[in-house]
Structure 1
Amino acid sequence: MERVSWRSLMAFLVAVLALHPCFCYAEKAPNYSFVREATTAPRLSNHSYIVIGGGTAGCPLAATLSESANVLVLERGGSPYLRPGRTDKVNYLLELYNTSSDSYAQQFRSEDGVHGHRARVLGGGSVINAGFYSHADPEFVKEARLDEALVKQSYQWVEKKVVFESPVLQWQSAVKDGLLEVGVKPYNKFTYDHIKGTKIGATIFDRNDHRHTAADLLEYANPTNIKVYLHATVHKIITTETTGSRPKATGVIYKDATGLRHEAYLTEEPNSEIIVSSGAIGSPQLLMLSGIGPANQLKANRVKVVLDQPMVGQNMADNAMNGLVVPSPLPVEVSLLPTVGITQSGNYIEACSGLNLPPPPQEQMAKLLPTNLNKVSLHYSVSPCVFSFIMINIGAFINTRLQGGLIIQKDGRPLSTGHIELRNTDPNDNPKVWFNYFKEPQDVKKCVRGMETIISVINSKSFSRFRHPSMTTEQLLDLAAGLQSNARPRHPNTATSLEQFCKDTVLTFWHYHGSCKVGKVVDSDYRIIGVDSLRVIDASTFHVTPGTNPQATVMMLGR
């Protein structure tokens, strides 16, 4: 047999690796010379703009400003490019529930008892979300008084870098057909637009299921005009009094990963500004830590009051999520929310399938599914043959990969709102957050309508091949209730009352908004009312979440 030379072998391996999608992605990942650890930052610096938060809004904002000005970006998290496989589509849940110290998601529990996450990484929420990309509904653009032509141009600027058409395979096709069968019409095919009916949305996952994020938009930046520091936690916005005792933002104090203090100040240029883009939880928290917020709360935490602004942190809202886990007798593809049904009542119906499961849900599945299936056997007279078939197939469902999926619903415009309060003066800690899910009865009624649509889709002929025929609707409701991860009490009639099911099984959709609302905290140009040289640009300024998913609009707004 002819010997293979090392040179030939290496050439073969290089060729194979070059074709491997992970390797290709790593090669394409940007190597930004201007992105560095905050430990390398000077102790004192001056800039035309200081952007606090390199997230979904902060990255496009900083890239745009750097075209003609000196920009500093301070991001409290690390880089998403060091281990890109962590954020691939199949690993969505694994990274979201990663509890290690270098996780891209900081977990918290609201005072309502519902678990949530905050992004802690360059690229922000676009690094840990489900990837759905859809424009704002036209009503949002008009209500926000945005320039429609500029909005369109800004969306297109984003889409050139990070947006792709979603593949629609068997599971998602069945959901799409089920939605149409039960009357969520018309079929609007693939579109960026937010239109009532059933459509296929865009995604930030490419054809190899690799995630692209707002951090990729920094490729637009002028590298000579921008500095991005990672693991840079801002502790305070520095303000001074101007003529008439009106405060003006002049700089920030931040600490690097070792706890070393740094200061950055604005230059004397007339348009110099500090722009807070730390998200709907982080932005009001930082304003309050800097003395801008409700005076009584600031005094209680021994924070010097710069401006008594009682609306900072008020009107905090989240879109409640409820839905059903559907075990499948057939294998399913890995998918994340490409199909959406936008109902006449304002519910958004979406679905995902085939994801890797983190350990806690695996363990819960293993306990709950046999219990539910035994109920099928005992109460619904399933034959031993059928029962065995279901148990064999269900075994795959409780392994690391989910054989089946979730069909979920979101209330597009919830009326229930809450607020944020400081827990302490450490910016690394989560503040206290109340969302007051389902406080308003109209929100409960809308959830019930959404759950009724989900149940109709699952029972539709179009979806029939992806559900076990002997599992009743009540058992699916009971399974979903048993898998709930929140700390709210569960009531005995959860599986028989959709009203109670909504309240007991509510989860976050991670679409936090409203805590620095336009007209209440910021003006129509997103300037803090009552403070000079300070703005907020992120979802905290929204009065509702725009469209099916806000990330496209947050990136557009940054641009």
Structure 2
Amino acid sequence: MTWTSYGATCSAPSAGYSASTFASAVQLLAAAQCFSEESLPDSSDQNFAAYDFIIVGAGASGCVLANRLSEIEHWNVLLIEAGGDPPVESSIPGYHFSLHNSDFNWRYKTVNDGRTNQGNQDGCIYWPRGKMVGGSTNINAMMYVQGNSEDYQRWFDAGNTEWTVEDVRRCFRKSENYQDQLLDQDPDIRNHYGHDGPLVINTFNSTERVRGNKLISAYDEIGIKKVKDINVANAFGAAIMTVTASNGERNSMSKAYLVPIKDRKNFSIMKNALVTKVLINDLNQAYGVLVEQNGVTVTIHANIEVILSAGALNTPQILMLSGIGPKEHLESKGIQTIVDLPMVGQNLIDHLLFPITVFSDELTENSEADDEFDNLKYFHNRSGPLAQNVVLDTFAFYATNEDAKYPEFEAYVLRKRKNSSGLKKEFVTLFRFTDHVADSIVELNQNHTLHLFLLSLLHPLSSGTITLSSNNPKDPPLINANYFADDNDLELMVSGIQKLLELLDTEYFKSIGGFLGRTRTPNCDELELGSREYWKCQCLDIVSTVFHPVKTCKMGQLESDSVVSSRLKVHGVENLRVVDGSVMPNHISGNTMAPCVMVAERAAELIKEDYNLY
């Protein structure tokens, strides 16, 4: 069905994943409104014989690469995506969680290691990854964080000489189109950002700015300094979020980088197509890919390069299915080893997250019914709750070590009014809490407003793995997150929690009667609330994710310790690169979307350099 409005057409009016009749009506109205993102023409009816570059995965990095490589008019570029077009919900910031349990993401889950997550159903948690054009940039929280300069200095110091801090910062600016008219008057902010790139950076049309500023003042009171802009402050302090949204609409990478080039004659996109294997000849040269679409498998040739941009989970999976990876593991799955690269799928690092339940007697200005009808404002002027993501649009970055060069923690808060309907369903579906855990939070929420602080450890020492469950490309990879395997992570996390809870002694939280609530978990109910042992136990029982996996195809110099070179070429294979978050050699002090865009901007420069075109 196609909806027409304001002289434009919109495909895919709704995914139909809303939780209520009211929300379904809102989605239908949204479809009739017609958002600015256009459907990209699918080139599947073409004869896919050969292209100069084949890019696998239309997520953050793949969208950037398709745009930048097709700038070279004599290069033919094909982008292959396992999913289809994003639904209308993806353009509405307030619906970003609605697609986390839908066909528009891979719906991955971690394995049950018997040690962590025993307060979660089946001992595992969701790791949603976008499966549509635009990838996870159509389901994420839109937070735009560049990271700390020390993050990238560590890349360079490890021997990745193409990645100087100056190059990294230049590539951020190259992507950016900063548009916050209020903050842009500050010369430090104006000079920090780029203004001519494809990616619009702004702040949300927030209805919670007054409360957000109160929280920022509370952070400032406990020593987490109030700053105007978190990126200008090098990812230290507390501030209003910078986001990839403007005028109440999400700015995904497909909207920013693909829609503007949809009519380029040297650019093609193939949707709903699963790449099952990279083809490699006897000279260890990549020459194409096998693709399954509508039950038919076809071979597509690459004249110059194959580039994997399928993300930190799917890229190592594709490499291993193609015979590139740890030999012993590949042979155990019946896969012939072409290149024995032991680090493929290893070194998995994620920003682990821990939920902290703070309650208060804060008065609520609106009823829940008022909030629902506030949503209708969205279709009048793109304001109201739907114009922002579901957390309060503030975040805080801090370290417990006063001499730290980069932050250890990132914190944000999800606020739920007293006796909030549907709260248990959210905890059970999104966090996969057991009834025992969810009920303890819901019971306190019956008489108190919930401030669910979400605290993320930015630089964990613990690492996990991505491995194959079988040699069938349709079987999901095995995700062993291995959270808190290093005891230092657990000790540091507890210190970070205790620092954050100093907020309860601030003027703001005292004024609303803020207090720490006990979350019941399987192994911790008898421990003293707020003690270090209590927090250690809780962390192990209900640790979660902020959906930031990296490093599974780490860049570096040695085949024994990395997967790609600093020019992102796969060791031991010619004409094959990896360009996505999996190449990061250490984690970033913040959300990973912006760095993934930067990585692809820099990669496009390196590729053009290699062919004397930059």
What TM-score comes out, normalization by structure 1 length?
Answer: 0.79
1:317 is matched with which residue: 349, 373, 376? Answer: 349
Higher mean Cα deviation, 284-293 or 319-328?
Answer: 319-328
Question: How many Å apart are 1:543 and its aligned residue?
Answer: 2.4
1:307-348 Cα deviation digits (max 9, x unpaired): 111111111111110122345543386653632222133122
1:128 corresponds to 2:139: yes
The aligned residue for residue 183 of structure 2 is none
1:449 is matched with which residue: 491, 495, 506? Answer: 495
The aligned residue for residue 283 of structure 1 is 315
The aligned residue for residue 92 of structure 2 is 88
- Report the Cα distance in structure 2 between the residues aligned to 1:129 and 1:354, rounded to whole angstroms: 20
**What pairs with 1:299-378 in structure 2 (closer than 5 Å)?**
299-327=331-359, 329-331=362-364, 335-336=390-391, 338-345=393-400, 346-353=408-415, 360-361=425-426, 367-369=439-441, 371-372=443-444
The aligned residue for residue 109 of structure 1 is 110
2:130 is matched with which residue: 119, 124, 139? Answer: 119
- Report the Cα distance in structure 1 between the residues aligned to 2:98 and 2:578, rounded to whole angstroms: 31
The aligned residue for residue 509 of structure 1 is 546
Question: How many Å apart are 1:169 and its aligned residue?
Answer: 1.1
1:537 corresponds to 2:544: no
Unpaired runs of at least 5, structure 1: 1-9, 12-19, 374-389, 395-402, 483-487
- Report the Cα distance in structure 2 between the residues aligned to 1:306 and 1:330, rounded to whole angstroms: 64
- Report the Cα distance in structure 2 between the residues aligned to 1:140 and 1:409, rounded to whole angstroms: 20
**What pairs with 1:259-274 in structure 2 (closer than 5 Å)?**
259-267=295-303, 272-274=304-306
**What pairs with 1:15-414 in structure 2 (closer than 5 Å)?**
22=30, 26-33=34-41, 35-36=42-43, 38=44, 40-42=45-47, 44-68=48-72, 69-80=75-86, 83-86=87-90, 88-96=92-100, 98=101, 100=102, 102-112=103-113, 113-115=123-125, 116-145=127-156, 146-160=163-177, 161-166=199-204, 167=206, 169-185=209-225, 187-193=226-232, 194-208=234-248, 210-216=249-255, 217-221=257-261, 223-242=264-283, 247-256=284-293, 258-267=294-303, 272-327=304-359, 329-331=362-364, 335-336=390-391, 338-345=393-400, 346-353=408-415, 360-361=425-426, 367-369=439-441, 371-372=443-444, 391=447, 404-414=450-460
Alpha-carbon spacing, 1:492–1:89, altered in 2? closer, same or farther (3 Å): farther
Counterpart contact for 1:93–1:357, Cα < 8 Å? no
Counterpart contact for 1:114–1:508, Cα < 8 Å? no
What code does the residue aligned with 2:282 have? E
Alpha-carbon spacing, 1:74–1:298, altered in 2? closer, same or farther (3 Å): same
- Report the Cα distance in structure 2 between the residues aligned to 1:525 and 1:358, rounded to whole angstroms: 47
RMSD of aligned Cα (Å)? 2.9
Larger Rg: 1
Higher mean Cα deviation, 300-309 or 427-436?
Answer: 427-436
Structure 1 stretches of 4+ moved >6 Å: none
Question: How many Å apart are 1:87 and its aligned residue?
Answer: 5.0
Secondary structure of the residue aligned to 1:227 is strand
Alpha-carbon spacing, 1:200–1:306, altered in 2? closer, same or farther (3 Å): same
- Report the Cα distance in structure 1 between the residues aligned to 2:236 and 2:318, rounded to whole angstroms: 38
Secondary structure of the residue aligned to 2:98 is helix
1:428 corresponds to 2:484: no
Counterpart contact for 1:314–1:418, Cα < 8 Å? yes
What code does the residue aligned with 2:319 have? L
- Report the Cα distance in structure 1 between the residues aligned to 2:484 and 2:469, rounded to whole angstroms: 24
The aligned residue for residue 399 of structure 1 is none
Secondary structure of the residue aligned to 1:340 is strand
Secondary structure of the residue aligned to 2:281 is strand
1:86-117 Cα deviation digits (max 9, x unpaired): 55222222222x2x4x2335232234443122
The percent of aligned pairs where both chains have the same amino acid is 24
Question: How many Å apart are 1:545 and its aligned residue?
Answer: 2.6
Alpha-carbon spacing, 1:347–1:92, altered in 2? closer, same or farther (3 Å): same
- Report the Cα distance in structure 2 between the residues aligned to 1:327 and 1:93, rounded to whole angstroms: 23
Alpha-carbon spacing, 1:90–1:165, altered in 2? closer, same or farther (3 Å): closer
Higher mean Cα deviation, 441-450 or 456-465?
Answer: 456-465
Higher mean Cα deviation, 428-437 or 105-114?
Answer: 105-114
Question: How many Å apart are 1:223 and its aligned residue?
Answer: 1.8
Question: How many Å apart are 1:171 and its aligned residue?
Answer: 3.3
Counterpart contact for 2:35–2:91, Cα < 8 Å? no
Counterpart contact for 1:55–1:214, Cα < 8 Å? yes
Secondary structure of the residue aligned to 2:89 is helix
- Report the Cα distance in structure 2 between the residues aligned to 1:288 and 1:309, rounded to whole angstroms: 9
Question: How many Å apart are 1:290 and its aligned residue?
Answer: 0.2
The aligned residue for residue 493 of structure 1 is 527
Secondary structure of the residue aligned to 1:315 is coil
Alpha-carbon spacing, 1:348–1:191, altered in 2? closer, same or farther (3 Å): closer
Alpha-carbon spacing, 1:205–1:105, altered in 2? closer, same or farther (3 Å): farther
Question: How many Å apart are 1:56 and its aligned residue?
Answer: 1.0
Alpha-carbon spacing, 1:241–1:128, altered in 2? closer, same or farther (3 Å): same
**What pairs with 1:461-500 in structure 2 (closer than 5 Å)?**
461-465=507-511, 469=514, 472-473=515-516, 476=517, 478-479=518-519, 481=520, 492-493=526-527, 495=529, 496=531, 497-500=534-537
Counterpart contact for 2:53–2:307, Cα < 8 Å? yes
The aligned residue for residue 380 of structure 2 is none
Alpha-carbon spacing, 1:451–1:303, altered in 2? closer, same or farther (3 Å): same
- Report the Cα distance in structure 1 between the residues aligned to 2:577 and 2:327, rounded to whole angstroms: 20
1:556 is matched with which residue: 598, 602, 606? Answer: 598
What code does the residue aligned with 1:260 have? V
1:448-468 Cα deviation digits (max 9, x unpaired): 122112322244222345x55
Secondary structure of the residue aligned to 1:50 is strand
Higher mean Cα deviation, 293-302 or 339-348?
Answer: 339-348
- Report the Cα distance in structure 2 between the residues aligned to 1:366 and 1:147, rounded to whole angstroms: 46
